[in-house]
Amino acid sequence: MHTRSAILLALALAFPGVEGVAQMSRAALVKQSDIIFIGTVTQVGAVAVPEVPASPRTVVVRVDQVLEKPAPVALTAGDSVTVETARAGSLKAGIQATFYTTGWIFGRGVAVREVGHEPGRSPVVASVQTAAVARARLEVNDAELKAHIQRAAMVVAGRVEQVRPAELAGAPTRPKRISEHDPNWQEAIIQVQDGIKGAQAGEQVVVRFPGSADVAWVGTPKFAVGEEGTFLLHKDSTTGSPLSMIAGRSVPAYTALHKVDVLSKQDATRVRSLIKRP
Amino acid sequence: MIAVGVALFASCTGSERQVPPAKLAGIRVVDLIPASLSGETWQDAEPFLALYASNPRLMAASAFTPNPGGSASATAPIFVSDDGGDSWTLRNTLPSESMTADITHAVGGTPPVLYAGIMKVPGFPLNELKANDFFSPATMTLQAFRVDIDQPFVRTSQVGNADRVYIGLNDFDAPDGRTATVDVSLDGGGTYASRRIETRSTAGQNGPSIRPAVAQDHTVYVAYFGWRSNAGADVTSDVVVVRDDSGATGATPFRDLVDPSDHLPGRLVATHVTIPWSNAPTLGQERIGSTLAIAVDGQHSENVYLAWADRVGTGDIYTVHVRRSTDRGATWSGDLRALTNATDASLAVSANGSVGLLYQQVTGSAGTSRWVTRLEQSRDGFATHQDVVLASVPATTPTFQFLPYIGDYNCLLTRGNQFLGIFSANNTPDSTNFPQGVMYQRRVDFPTHRLLDGSGAAVAVSIDPFFFSVPVLP
């Protein structure tokens, strides 16, 4: 698949009429990558640092410009990176390309695995590639958010009115377990201001979330009274208790356990736009 | 070894790689975060270490360190070293999304086999894993899994060409609330049998810490907390040690040590202690409630040391106790050490019989409080001991991102004439915080006490894992 992507991209550059195909392929590469850079191959069958095993598939690439990387990764123009290519012999010394990669070995230097590369004409115009990768990342992010929206039972913009301990009345009867990983389920009562999907303005909904500070729940959204946002809500299939209570009424309980499930209030516009997008 | 480290880092450019002089010969302290992750600010807590007896250059380590690729990553990393701990690389080989929720590991035979017990993300099931070569970039192989467990703690031994694996864990699906369990594999993880080691009534479960220790004659000790009742945040517990004299190969293992009071398996080393169970920042931003360690003299299995923490009611938060048995657990000393406001005790017994005790203790108060990491070692059952401060760092910074802050446990091991271990601490590059010296792989500027990213910009202080080695007392 990676080779096919590179071929499609090369064709797209040669034939401007297939730009749409190229964009799709670039988005696929971006989706699978967390380190993207423009670089020039300096050695083939070699490595930049000794802690990485050399093989016919490894090449050393001088970084010309970093387009995307995680914040912790120390990678700047001029660094030499070891790239494990998708296919031996696919790159020759002197070639400049945009490399779509994932992190492999982090030591004195960075070693990455190639997802694909975009050969282009040399020299690659950095500003053009920067914009193209940024567009592709936006496209990927939109697609992922749209998928989350489609999976959500309810999407609302609203305000957290109350936070209370969850009473999991319907949960299967089993002894309470004491563990440092206990989620300590809480319930946020959200006043719906804008019912984007599956809800009406003025409703109140119950959203369960782990109040625990344990490492197991570190990436899970937490709610606080007064918090406003756009919330992608899923019927609670996690706690074993699908119902909760509001003012004496039994109501469905929801969860928002993925970081994408909690967006800013301003993101409501983007969410509406994605819902309308085919 | 110090000379090796200085030579290694002297080759780096600029004053930012300066290494302060070591104060005692032969002691190394090394920050594991590699240069290529100099921008990281994560809370790399709860470190663990695995060593090879056959090749002292090979080591594996772990912490709550995420895959640098981010939360969408399908794998989580371990650290490996092939130069005896002077330098470390990070490799994404654990089948867990970005990070684990618990991890320990131990080595097997040659080539460098590694066994790991993790709580996998998402869902937190136990995964019992194996890598035939932990330097391989391949994802570790899943050997067994199940849900509803806590704190897998891995130890290994070798019999001929076969690796034996002992994974202490708290199995919430065990019958009758007797949750203290050891998953035993006698065939290199090919098959596991869950062995229940609690024989008494509990308060519905045992404590999370189930800690095995294995001697060369295949004696296996396991320490656990026998939770008997709980009231509010306090648990009343026994501290229990079981023993198996034949590597847990029999049909009813861990029944070789009986308590004289009730003739049941499991020696009651301490009874009715108060365990403050606090899953909130309580001791220097750390939670408390499951500190437990055991170590056996590998060559003289009659000698075994035990450490646990409880609250003794004299105004302390959490006190670490250390005791010893010289008759295979039949009788135990009183407290050889009682260390107030301390946690993360780890024990190891060296080849010459010296015992090492690693622990982390909060000193001072409020804004001036510090986490002090110490290695004590003794040749005479702590009648006398050598005390080495490995780190003394602010306890109030950085603010915790999650719990555990520095770890529910750390790790101490021994090989040859060295104690080798790992702990987590505030990573400010200030030589006064590391009295024995410290080596950083990540970019730092000692004169200004700053961490630097790849472009030379300042990076916020965080919690890092630190490897150390200390010579055994002759």
Would the CB atoms of B277 and A74 count as touching at under 8 Å?
no
A35 vs B contacts (CB less than 8 Å): 69
Chain A: nearest CA to B453, how far in angstroms?
Answer: 6
What token pair was written down for A234? 């899923």
Q: Is A275 on the interface with B (CB under 8 A)?
A: no
Phi, psi (deg, nearest 5) at residue B165: -125, 130
Distance (Å, rounded) from C-alpha B195 to C-alpha B174?
10
Q: What is the pLDDT of residue A6?
A: 44
Model confidence over B194-209: pLDDT tens digits?
999 999 999 999 999 9
Q: What average pLDDT does this structure show over B125-131?
A: 97
Q: What is the pLDDT of residue A119?
A: 82
B17–chain A nearest CA distance, Å: 13
Q: What is the mean pLDDT of residues A97-126?
A: 90
pLDDT at A173: 61
Q: In chain A, what are the domain boundaries?
A: 2-141, 152-171+182-276
Query: In terms of CA atoms, which chain B residue is nearest residue A216?
Result: B101
Please tell me if the domain spanning A2-141 has the same topology as the one spanning A152-171+182-276.
yes
Summarised one tens digit per residue, pLDDT across range B228-258 is: 999 888 999 999 999 999 999 999 999 999 9
Decide if B38 and A74 are in contact by the 8 Å CB cutoff.
yes
pLDDT band at B17 (very low <50, low <70, confident <90, very high): very low
Residues of A with CB below 8 A from B88's CB? Answer: 107
Judged by DSSP in three states, B455 sits in coil
pLDDT of A170? 63
- The percentage of residues in chain B with a pLDDT greater than 70, rounded to a whole number, is 95
pLDDT band at A172 (very low <50, low <70, confident <90, very high): low
| CB contact (8 A) between residue A181 and residue B101 | yes
Determine how many CB atoms are found less than 10 A away from the CB of residue B356.
28
- Chain A partners of B82 at a C-beta cutoff of 8 Å? 51
Q: Is A247 on the interface with B (CB under 8 A)?
A: no
CATH number of B2-471: 2.120.10.10
The residue of chain A nearest to residue B288, with distances taken between CA atoms, is A180
CATH of domain A2-141: 2.40.50.120
Does the distance separating the beta carbons of B290 and A75 come in below 8 Å? no
Residue A213: is its pLDDT beyond 60?
Answer: yes
pTM: 0.93
Could you tell me the two tokens for B443? Answer: 């970019």
For residue A10, pLDDT beyond 90: no
Q: How confident is the model at residue A171 (pLDDT cuts 50, 70, 90)?
A: low
A121 and chain B in contact, CB less than 8 A: no
Question: Which residues of chain B neighbour A185 with C-beta distances below 8 Å?
Answer: none
Predicted-complex ipTM score: 0.92
Q: How far is CA B155 from the centre of its chain?
A: 11
Residues in chain B with CB shorter than 8 Å from the CB of A184 are 279
First to last CA, chain B: 18
Question: Which pLDDT belongs to residue A174?
Answer: 64
User: Among B355, B351, B350, B345, which Cα is nearest to B325's?
Assistant: B355
| Fold exhibited by the domain A152-171+182-276 | OB fold (Dihydrolipoamide Acetyltransferase, E2P) (2.40.50)
What local confidence, expressed as pLDDT, does residue B213 receive? 98
* Amino acid sitting at position B101: A
Cβ pair A216:B205 closer than 8 A? no
CB distance A179–B277 less than 8 Å?
Answer: no
